[in-house]
Structure 1
Amino acid sequence: MSPRRSYDQYCSAARALDLVGDRWTLLIVRELLAGPRRYTDLHADLPGVSTDVLASRLKDMERDGLTTRRRLSPPGAAFVYELTGRGRELLPVLQALGTWGQAELGERRPTDAVRAHWFALPLLRCLEGQGVVEVRLEEGEFHVYVGAEKGPVYGEGPAPVEPDARLVLDAGTWEAVGRGESSLADAVRDGRITVSGEGTLAKALREA
Protein backbone atom coordinates (compact mmCIF):
# COMPACT_ATOMS: atom_id res chain seq x y z
CA MET A 1 0.00 0.00 0.00
CA SER A 2 1.48 3.32 -1.04
CA PRO A 3 1.86 6.08 1.55
CA ARG A 4 -0.87 8.69 1.51
CA ARG A 5 0.09 11.81 -0.36
CA SER A 6 -0.44 15.11 1.39
CA TYR A 7 -0.58 18.76 0.46
CA ASP A 8 1.28 19.41 3.73
CA GLN A 9 -0.85 22.47 4.42
CA TYR A 10 -2.34 23.32 7.81
CA CYS A 11 -5.81 23.89 6.33
CA SER A 12 -8.93 21.80 6.85
CA ALA A 13 -9.81 21.88 3.12
CA ALA A 14 -6.31 20.66 2.24
CA ARG A 15 -6.54 17.91 4.88
CA ALA A 16 -9.91 16.82 3.49
CA LEU A 17 -8.49 16.69 -0.03
CA ASP A 18 -5.61 14.57 1.27
CA LEU A 19 -8.27 11.91 1.94
CA VAL A 20 -10.87 12.36 -0.80
CA GLY A 21 -9.19 14.44 -3.49
CA ASP A 22 -7.94 11.53 -5.59
CA ARG A 23 -9.83 10.65 -8.76
CA TRP A 24 -12.72 8.17 -8.14
CA THR A 25 -12.74 8.42 -4.34
CA LEU A 26 -15.89 10.52 -4.00
CA LEU A 27 -17.65 8.46 -6.67
CA ILE A 28 -16.89 5.33 -4.67
CA VAL A 29 -18.50 7.08 -1.70
CA ARG A 30 -21.53 7.82 -3.90
CA GLU A 31 -21.89 4.12 -4.65
CA LEU A 32 -21.38 3.03 -1.03
CA LEU A 33 -24.11 5.38 0.17
CA ALA A 34 -26.37 2.59 -1.08
CA GLY A 35 -24.99 0.30 1.64
CA PRO A 36 -22.51 -2.60 1.54
CA ARG A 37 -21.34 -3.50 -1.97
CA ARG A 38 -19.08 -6.12 -3.48
CA TYR A 39 -16.00 -5.15 -5.46
CA THR A 40 -17.56 -6.49 -8.68
CA ASP A 41 -20.69 -4.38 -8.13
CA LEU A 42 -18.62 -1.27 -7.56
CA HIS A 43 -16.59 -1.92 -10.69
CA ALA A 44 -19.76 -2.40 -12.76
CA ASP A 45 -21.25 0.91 -11.57
CA LEU A 46 -18.06 2.94 -11.97
CA PRO A 47 -17.55 2.66 -15.73
CA GLY A 48 -14.09 3.82 -16.73
CA VAL A 49 -12.23 2.89 -13.55
CA SER A 50 -9.50 0.26 -13.90
CA THR A 51 -9.41 -2.70 -11.55
CA ASP A 52 -6.02 -1.60 -10.19
CA VAL A 53 -7.16 1.94 -9.44
CA LEU A 54 -10.39 0.76 -7.80
CA ALA A 55 -8.52 -1.70 -5.59
CA SER A 56 -5.98 0.98 -4.65
CA ARG A 57 -8.66 3.55 -3.78
CA LEU A 58 -10.55 1.05 -1.64
CA LYS A 59 -7.40 0.18 0.29
CA ASP A 60 -6.66 3.88 0.83
CA MET A 61 -10.20 4.55 1.99
CA GLU A 62 -10.06 1.66 4.45
CA ARG A 63 -6.72 2.86 5.81
CA ASP A 64 -8.09 6.39 6.21
CA GLY A 65 -11.16 5.22 8.13
CA LEU A 66 -13.73 5.99 5.43
CA THR A 67 -14.68 2.38 4.67
CA THR A 68 -14.52 -1.09 6.16
CA ARG A 69 -14.29 -4.48 4.47
CA ARG A 70 -16.05 -7.57 5.82
CA ARG A 71 -17.10 -11.02 4.69
CA LEU A 72 -20.79 -11.81 4.35
CA SER A 73 -22.21 -14.82 6.14
CA PRO A 74 -22.73 -18.03 4.11
CA PRO A 75 -24.08 -18.84 1.60
CA GLY A 76 -22.85 -15.53 0.13
CA ALA A 77 -19.45 -15.49 1.82
CA ALA A 78 -18.31 -12.62 -0.43
CA PHE A 79 -16.39 -9.60 0.81
CA VAL A 80 -18.25 -6.30 0.82
CA TYR A 81 -17.18 -2.71 1.36
CA GLU A 82 -19.22 -0.23 3.37
CA LEU A 83 -18.88 3.29 4.66
CA THR A 84 -17.94 4.05 8.22
CA GLY A 85 -19.73 6.83 10.08
CA ARG A 86 -16.89 9.12 9.01
CA GLY A 87 -17.39 8.11 5.40
CA ARG A 88 -21.14 8.67 5.55
CA GLU A 89 -20.48 12.23 6.73
CA LEU A 90 -19.42 12.92 3.13
CA LEU A 91 -23.08 12.86 2.01
CA PRO A 92 -23.59 16.64 2.39
CA VAL A 93 -20.24 17.18 0.65
CA LEU A 94 -21.45 15.18 -2.35
CA GLN A 95 -24.79 16.97 -2.26
CA ALA A 96 -23.13 20.37 -2.30
CA LEU A 97 -20.78 19.27 -5.07
CA GLY A 98 -23.74 17.97 -7.07
CA THR A 99 -25.60 21.25 -6.70
CA TRP A 100 -22.53 23.19 -7.82
CA GLY A 101 -22.02 20.84 -10.76
CA GLN A 102 -25.56 21.13 -12.15
CA ALA A 103 -24.45 23.93 -14.45
CA GLU A 104 -21.84 21.62 -15.98
CA LEU A 105 -24.23 18.84 -17.02
CA GLY A 106 -25.62 20.25 -20.25
CA GLU A 107 -27.12 17.78 -22.68
CA ARG A 108 -26.19 14.15 -22.23
CA ARG A 109 -23.32 13.18 -24.54
CA PRO A 110 -23.32 9.94 -26.57
CA THR A 111 -20.30 8.77 -24.58
CA ASP A 112 -21.86 9.47 -21.16
CA ALA A 113 -22.60 6.40 -19.05
CA VAL A 114 -25.74 6.50 -16.92
CA ARG A 115 -27.23 4.46 -14.10
CA ALA A 116 -30.72 4.99 -12.74
CA HIS A 117 -29.51 5.24 -9.14
CA TRP A 118 -27.23 8.18 -10.00
CA PHE A 119 -30.41 10.28 -9.80
CA ALA A 120 -30.85 9.29 -6.13
CA LEU A 121 -28.74 12.06 -4.62
CA PRO A 122 -30.18 14.86 -6.82
CA LEU A 123 -33.65 13.59 -5.93
CA LEU A 124 -32.90 13.64 -2.22
CA ARG A 125 -31.96 17.31 -2.50
CA CYS A 126 -35.53 17.97 -3.65
CA LEU A 127 -37.35 16.06 -0.91
CA GLU A 128 -38.14 16.97 2.68
CA GLY A 129 -39.53 14.90 5.51
CA GLN A 130 -38.94 11.24 6.22
CA GLY A 131 -39.85 8.04 4.43
CA VAL A 132 -39.15 5.81 1.45
CA VAL A 133 -39.66 6.89 -2.15
CA GLU A 134 -39.55 4.41 -5.03
CA VAL A 135 -38.61 5.73 -8.47
CA ARG A 136 -39.11 4.17 -11.88
CA LEU A 137 -37.06 5.47 -14.81
CA GLU A 138 -36.50 4.12 -18.30
CA GLU A 139 -33.01 3.08 -17.15
CA GLY A 140 -34.31 1.13 -14.14
CA GLU A 141 -35.72 1.43 -10.64
CA PHE A 142 -34.25 2.64 -7.36
CA HIS A 143 -35.48 3.85 -4.00
CA VAL A 144 -34.36 6.56 -1.59
CA TYR A 145 -34.58 6.87 2.19
CA VAL A 146 -35.60 10.46 2.79
CA GLY A 147 -34.38 11.89 6.08
CA ALA A 148 -32.40 8.76 7.04
CA GLU A 149 -29.72 9.60 9.60
CA LYS A 150 -28.08 6.16 9.55
CA GLY A 151 -27.80 3.27 7.15
CA PRO A 152 -28.18 3.37 3.36
CA VAL A 153 -29.27 6.57 1.66
CA TYR A 154 -30.66 4.78 -1.39
CA GLY A 155 -30.83 1.35 -3.01
CA GLU A 156 -31.21 -0.18 -6.45
CA GLY A 157 -34.46 -1.85 -7.51
CA PRO A 158 -37.90 -1.66 -5.88
CA ALA A 159 -38.15 -0.59 -2.25
CA PRO A 160 -37.89 -3.51 0.21
CA VAL A 161 -40.89 -2.12 2.12
CA GLU A 162 -44.11 -0.42 1.06
CA PRO A 163 -42.91 3.02 -0.08
CA ASP A 164 -44.49 6.26 1.07
CA ALA A 165 -44.52 7.43 -2.56
CA ARG A 166 -43.85 6.03 -6.02
CA LEU A 167 -42.59 8.27 -8.83
CA VAL A 168 -42.61 7.45 -12.55
CA LEU A 169 -40.81 9.76 -14.99
CA ASP A 170 -38.97 9.68 -18.29
CA ALA A 171 -35.30 10.35 -18.97
CA GLY A 172 -35.90 13.87 -20.27
CA THR A 173 -37.67 14.88 -17.07
CA TRP A 174 -35.07 13.52 -14.70
CA GLU A 175 -32.30 15.11 -16.73
CA ALA A 176 -34.08 18.47 -16.52
CA VAL A 177 -34.53 18.10 -12.76
CA GLY A 178 -30.92 16.97 -12.39
CA ARG A 179 -29.69 20.03 -14.29
CA GLY A 180 -31.83 22.30 -12.13
CA GLU A 181 -33.91 23.43 -15.12
CA SER A 182 -37.14 22.14 -13.58
CA SER A 183 -38.15 21.71 -9.98
CA LEU A 184 -39.60 18.42 -8.81
CA ALA A 185 -42.84 20.18 -7.83
CA ASP A 186 -43.22 21.79 -11.28
CA ALA A 187 -42.68 18.45 -13.00
CA VAL A 188 -45.37 16.86 -10.83
CA ARG A 189 -47.82 19.71 -11.50
CA ASP A 190 -47.16 19.52 -15.24
CA GLY A 191 -47.85 15.79 -15.29
CA ARG A 192 -44.29 14.89 -16.27
CA ILE A 193 -43.91 12.93 -13.03
CA THR A 194 -46.64 10.54 -11.92
CA VAL A 195 -46.97 10.25 -8.15
CA SER A 196 -48.81 7.39 -6.46
CA GLY A 197 -49.13 6.34 -2.84
CA GLU A 198 -50.92 7.62 0.22
CA GLY A 199 -47.94 8.40 2.43
CA THR A 200 -47.02 11.82 3.71
CA LEU A 201 -44.34 12.27 1.03
CA ALA A 202 -46.75 11.39 -1.80
CA LYS A 203 -49.34 13.84 -0.50
CA ALA A 204 -46.72 16.58 -0.10
CA LEU A 205 -45.53 16.11 -3.68
CA ARG A 206 -49.07 16.26 -5.07
CA GLU A 207 -49.91 19.34 -3.06
CA ALA A 208 -46.67 21.28 -3.65
Structure 2
Amino acid sequence: MTSYGQFCPVAKAMELLDERWTMLVLREMLAGSTHFNDLRRGNPKMSPTLLSKRLRTLERAGVVKRSVERGRTSYTLTECGEELRGVVESLGAWGVRWIGQLGEEDLDPHLLMWDMRRTVPVDAWPARRTVVAFELTDVTPKAARWWLCVNGGEADICDYDPGFDVTVTVTAELRTLTEVWRGDVSWQQAIKDEQVELTGPSTAVRAVPGWLGQMQLASVPRLDSQLAHER
Protein backbone atom coordinates (compact mmCIF):
# COMPACT_ATOMS: atom_id res chain seq x y z
CA MET A 1 0.00 0.00 0.00
CA THR A 2 1.18 3.51 -0.82
CA SER A 3 1.29 5.95 2.08
CA TYR A 4 -0.09 9.46 1.70
CA GLY A 5 2.01 10.59 4.64
CA GLN A 6 -0.96 12.22 6.36
CA PHE A 7 -2.52 11.73 9.77
CA CYS A 8 -5.98 12.44 8.29
CA PRO A 9 -8.28 9.42 8.86
CA VAL A 10 -9.57 9.72 5.29
CA ALA A 11 -6.01 9.42 3.99
CA LYS A 12 -5.32 6.42 6.24
CA ALA A 13 -8.50 4.68 5.08
CA MET A 14 -7.74 5.33 1.43
CA GLU A 15 -4.25 3.88 1.75
CA LEU A 16 -6.07 0.55 1.97
CA LEU A 17 -9.24 1.14 -0.01
CA ASP A 18 -8.17 3.06 -3.12
CA GLU A 19 -6.06 0.28 -4.62
CA ARG A 20 -7.57 -0.79 -7.95
CA TRP A 21 -10.42 -3.35 -7.59
CA THR A 22 -10.40 -3.32 -3.78
CA MET A 23 -13.79 -1.62 -3.39
CA LEU A 24 -15.31 -3.91 -6.02
CA VAL A 25 -14.07 -6.98 -4.17
CA LEU A 26 -15.71 -5.58 -1.05
CA ARG A 27 -18.88 -4.88 -3.04
CA GLU A 28 -19.03 -8.53 -4.02
CA MET A 29 -18.49 -9.73 -0.47
CA LEU A 30 -21.18 -7.38 0.81
CA ALA A 31 -23.49 -8.85 -1.83
CA GLY A 32 -22.92 -12.32 -0.38
CA SER A 33 -20.01 -13.82 -2.32
CA THR A 34 -17.72 -15.86 -0.08
CA HIS A 35 -15.77 -18.09 -2.47
CA PHE A 36 -12.95 -17.19 -4.83
CA ASN A 37 -14.77 -18.23 -8.02
CA ASP A 38 -17.86 -16.22 -7.05
CA LEU A 39 -15.70 -13.16 -6.41
CA ARG A 40 -14.19 -13.71 -9.85
CA ARG A 41 -17.63 -13.93 -11.47
CA GLY A 42 -18.54 -10.61 -9.89
CA ASN A 43 -15.33 -9.08 -11.26
CA PRO A 44 -14.82 -10.97 -14.54
CA LYS A 45 -12.15 -8.59 -15.84
CA MET A 46 -9.99 -8.95 -12.72
CA SER A 47 -7.15 -11.46 -12.95
CA PRO A 48 -7.07 -14.34 -10.43
CA THR A 49 -3.57 -13.29 -9.37
CA LEU A 50 -4.68 -9.76 -8.54
CA LEU A 51 -7.77 -11.02 -6.71
CA SER A 52 -5.58 -13.24 -4.55
CA LYS A 53 -3.32 -10.30 -3.80
CA ARG A 54 -6.21 -8.02 -2.82
CA LEU A 55 -7.71 -10.68 -0.56
CA ARG A 56 -4.39 -11.15 1.23
CA THR A 57 -4.08 -7.40 1.75
CA LEU A 58 -7.62 -7.18 3.14
CA GLU A 59 -6.96 -10.16 5.38
CA ARG A 60 -3.79 -8.59 6.80
CA ALA A 61 -5.73 -5.38 7.42
CA GLY A 62 -8.38 -7.25 9.41
CA VAL A 63 -11.15 -6.50 6.92
CA VAL A 64 -11.54 -10.07 5.66
CA LYS A 65 -11.29 -13.42 7.41
CA ARG A 66 -10.11 -16.49 5.49
CA SER A 67 -11.20 -19.94 6.57
CA VAL A 68 -10.95 -23.47 5.17
CA GLU A 69 -13.62 -26.09 5.74
CA ARG A 70 -13.57 -29.54 4.12
CA GLY A 71 -10.83 -28.37 1.81
CA ARG A 72 -12.74 -25.36 0.50
CA THR A 73 -11.58 -21.82 1.21
CA SER A 74 -14.06 -19.11 2.00
CA TYR A 75 -13.74 -15.39 2.70
CA THR A 76 -16.02 -13.46 5.02
CA LEU A 77 -16.06 -9.89 6.22
CA THR A 78 -15.06 -9.13 9.76
CA GLU A 79 -16.86 -6.52 11.84
CA CYS A 80 -14.38 -4.03 10.41
CA GLY A 81 -15.28 -5.05 6.86
CA GLU A 82 -19.01 -5.13 7.45
CA GLU A 83 -18.83 -1.53 8.66
CA LEU A 84 -17.91 -0.55 5.09
CA ARG A 85 -21.40 -1.50 3.87
CA GLY A 86 -22.67 2.07 4.25
CA VAL A 87 -19.61 3.41 2.43
CA VAL A 88 -20.11 1.10 -0.55
CA GLU A 89 -23.86 1.76 -0.71
CA SER A 90 -23.29 5.52 -0.57
CA LEU A 91 -20.73 5.31 -3.37
CA GLY A 92 -23.20 3.34 -5.47
CA ALA A 93 -25.99 5.85 -4.86
CA TRP A 94 -23.65 8.73 -5.70
CA GLY A 95 -22.66 6.95 -8.93
CA VAL A 96 -26.31 6.51 -9.93
CA ARG A 97 -27.07 10.20 -9.40
CA TRP A 98 -23.95 11.77 -10.89
CA ILE A 99 -22.23 9.27 -13.22
CA GLY A 100 -24.98 8.30 -15.62
CA GLN A 101 -23.18 7.63 -18.88
CA LEU A 102 -22.24 4.05 -19.81
CA GLY A 103 -19.46 3.47 -22.32
CA GLU A 104 -19.22 0.37 -24.47
CA GLU A 105 -16.43 -0.90 -22.20
CA ASP A 106 -18.86 -0.83 -19.26
CA LEU A 107 -21.22 -3.39 -20.82
CA ASP A 108 -20.49 -6.96 -19.74
CA PRO A 109 -23.03 -9.78 -20.17
CA HIS A 110 -21.23 -12.00 -17.65
CA LEU A 111 -21.46 -9.40 -14.88
CA LEU A 112 -25.05 -8.49 -15.78
CA MET A 113 -26.24 -12.08 -15.60
CA TRP A 114 -24.31 -12.78 -12.41
CA ASP A 115 -25.85 -9.73 -10.75
CA MET A 116 -29.32 -10.81 -11.85
CA ARG A 117 -28.77 -14.33 -10.55
CA ARG A 118 -27.96 -13.24 -7.02
CA THR A 119 -30.53 -10.43 -6.79
CA VAL A 120 -33.74 -11.70 -8.43
CA PRO A 121 -36.60 -11.94 -5.91
CA VAL A 122 -36.92 -15.74 -5.95
CA ASP A 123 -39.94 -15.59 -3.60
CA ALA A 124 -41.90 -13.97 -6.46
CA TRP A 125 -41.24 -16.93 -8.79
CA PRO A 126 -43.49 -19.99 -9.17
CA ALA A 127 -42.80 -22.88 -6.79
CA ARG A 128 -41.97 -25.20 -9.71
CA ARG A 129 -38.76 -24.96 -11.73
CA THR A 130 -38.98 -21.88 -13.96
CA VAL A 131 -36.50 -20.90 -16.66
CA VAL A 132 -36.09 -17.51 -18.31
CA ALA A 133 -33.85 -17.49 -21.38
CA PHE A 134 -32.03 -14.38 -22.57
CA GLU A 135 -31.01 -13.62 -26.15
CA LEU A 136 -28.65 -10.65 -26.45
CA THR A 137 -28.78 -9.43 -30.02
CA ASP A 138 -25.64 -7.29 -30.12
CA VAL A 139 -22.90 -9.43 -28.55
CA THR A 140 -20.74 -12.26 -29.86
CA PRO A 141 -22.57 -15.61 -30.21
CA LYS A 142 -20.51 -17.14 -27.41
CA ALA A 143 -21.96 -14.67 -24.86
CA ALA A 144 -25.35 -14.08 -26.47
CA ARG A 145 -27.49 -16.76 -24.82
CA TRP A 146 -28.14 -17.28 -21.10
CA TRP A 147 -30.58 -19.26 -18.98
CA LEU A 148 -31.76 -18.17 -15.53
CA CYS A 149 -33.26 -21.08 -13.62
CA VAL A 150 -35.11 -20.72 -10.32
CA ASN A 151 -36.10 -23.85 -8.44
CA GLY A 152 -36.75 -24.48 -4.76
CA GLY A 153 -35.92 -20.90 -3.79
CA GLU A 154 -32.49 -21.07 -5.47
CA ALA A 155 -31.38 -19.20 -8.61
CA ASP A 156 -28.71 -20.32 -11.04
CA ILE A 157 -27.40 -18.77 -14.26
CA CYS A 158 -26.02 -20.79 -17.17
CA ASP A 159 -24.29 -19.80 -20.39
CA TYR A 160 -25.26 -23.16 -21.89
CA ASP A 161 -28.67 -24.77 -22.35
CA PRO A 162 -29.45 -26.63 -19.10
CA GLY A 163 -31.99 -28.78 -20.90
CA PHE A 164 -35.09 -27.56 -19.07
CA ASP A 165 -38.21 -26.18 -20.70
CA VAL A 166 -37.98 -22.40 -21.16
CA THR A 167 -40.92 -20.46 -19.71
CA VAL A 168 -40.17 -17.05 -21.23
CA THR A 169 -37.49 -15.72 -23.56
CA VAL A 170 -36.19 -12.16 -23.14
CA THR A 171 -34.68 -10.65 -26.29
CA ALA A 172 -32.85 -7.32 -26.16
CA GLU A 173 -29.58 -5.55 -26.79
CA LEU A 174 -27.05 -5.77 -23.97
CA ARG A 175 -27.13 -2.01 -23.42
CA THR A 176 -30.91 -1.97 -23.17
CA LEU A 177 -31.05 -4.83 -20.69
CA THR A 178 -28.27 -3.25 -18.64
CA GLU A 179 -30.12 0.07 -18.52
CA VAL A 180 -33.33 -1.66 -17.45
CA TRP A 181 -31.47 -3.59 -14.77
CA ARG A 182 -29.83 -0.40 -13.48
CA GLY A 183 -33.18 1.36 -13.35
CA ASP A 184 -32.28 3.92 -16.02
CA VAL A 185 -35.32 2.66 -17.96
CA SER A 186 -38.33 0.82 -16.57
CA TRP A 187 -39.33 -2.63 -17.79
CA GLN A 188 -42.67 -1.23 -18.85
CA GLN A 189 -41.12 1.55 -20.95
CA ALA A 190 -38.58 -0.75 -22.60
CA ILE A 191 -41.31 -3.23 -23.50
CA LYS A 192 -43.63 -0.47 -24.75
CA ASP A 193 -40.82 0.95 -26.93
CA GLU A 194 -40.14 -2.58 -28.27
CA GLN A 195 -36.58 -2.44 -26.97
CA VAL A 196 -37.26 -5.60 -24.97
CA GLU A 197 -39.26 -8.49 -26.43
CA LEU A 198 -40.81 -11.13 -24.17
CA THR A 199 -41.89 -14.42 -25.75
CA GLY A 200 -43.95 -17.05 -23.97
CA PRO A 201 -47.36 -17.66 -22.38
CA SER A 202 -49.13 -14.36 -21.71
CA THR A 203 -49.42 -14.95 -17.95
CA ALA A 204 -45.69 -15.60 -17.62
CA VAL A 205 -44.81 -12.68 -19.92
CA ARG A 206 -46.74 -10.29 -17.70
CA ALA A 207 -44.96 -11.69 -14.64
CA VAL A 208 -41.39 -11.41 -15.96
CA PRO A 209 -40.70 -7.80 -14.84
CA GLY A 210 -41.70 -8.82 -11.31
CA TRP A 211 -39.69 -12.03 -11.47
CA LEU A 212 -36.51 -10.26 -12.58
CA GLY A 213 -36.89 -6.91 -10.84
CA GLN A 214 -33.96 -4.50 -11.00
CA MET A 215 -30.64 -4.05 -9.23
CA GLN A 216 -30.69 -2.89 -5.62
CA LEU A 217 -29.56 0.64 -6.50
CA ALA A 218 -32.26 1.05 -9.19
CA SER A 219 -34.53 2.83 -6.73
CA VAL A 220 -32.03 5.65 -6.12
CA PRO A 221 -33.65 8.90 -7.40
CA ARG A 222 -32.07 10.24 -10.60
CA LEU A 223 -31.17 13.87 -11.08
CA ASP A 224 -33.54 15.98 -13.09
CA SER A 225 -32.21 15.95 -16.64
CA GLN A 226 -31.93 19.77 -16.70
CA LEU A 227 -29.95 19.76 -13.49
CA ALA A 228 -27.66 17.10 -14.89
CA HIS A 229 -27.15 19.20 -18.02
CA GLU A 230 -26.27 22.34 -16.03
CA ARG A 231 -23.75 20.76 -13.66
| TM-score in terms of structure 2 length | 0.52
- Of 89, 92, 95, the residue aligned with 1:92 is 89
1:146 is aligned to none
- Of 150, 153, 157, the residue aligned with 1:161 is 153
- Of 6, 9, 15, the residue aligned with 2:6 is 9
1:64 is aligned to 61
2:102 is aligned to 105
Give the C-alpha shift of residue 179 in structure 1.
6.0
- Of 56, 74, 83, the residue aligned with 2:77 is 83
Give the C-alpha shift of residue 69 in structure 1.
1.3
Specify the code of the residue in structure 1 equivalent to 2:180: V
Question: Runs of 5+ in structure 2 lacking a partner?
Answer: 126-130, 135-144, 156-167, 199-204, 214-231
Distance in 1, Cα, partners of 2:10 & 2:123: 33
Q: Is the 8 A contact 2:42 2:114 kept in 1?
A: no
- Of 175, 178, 185, the residue aligned with 1:175 is 178
Count of paired positions: 172
Task: Give the 3 Å change call, closer, same or farther, for CA 56–97 of structure 1 in structure 2.
Answer: farther
Give the C-alpha shift of residue 105 in structure 1.
0.9
Task: Give the 3 Å change call, closer, same or farther, for CA 101–178 of structure 1 in structure 2.
Answer: farther
Give the C-alpha shift of residue 53 in structure 1.
1.7
- Of 39, 45, 69, the residue aligned with 1:42 is 39
Task: Give the 3 Å change call, closer, same or farther, for CA 117–170 of structure 1 in structure 2.
Answer: farther
Does residue 31 of structure 1 match 2:23?
no
Give the C-alpha shift of residue 171 in structure 1.
4.3
Question: Runs of 5+ in structure 1 lacking a partner?
Answer: 125-129, 143-156
Pairwise CA RMSD of aligned residues?
4.4
Larger radius of gyration: 2
Between Structure 1 and Structure 2, the one with more helix by share is: 2
2:110 is aligned to 114
Q: Is the 8 A contact 1:71 1:79 kept in 2?
A: yes
Specify the code of the residue in structure 2 equivalent to 1:81: Y
| TM-score in terms of structure 1 length | 0.57
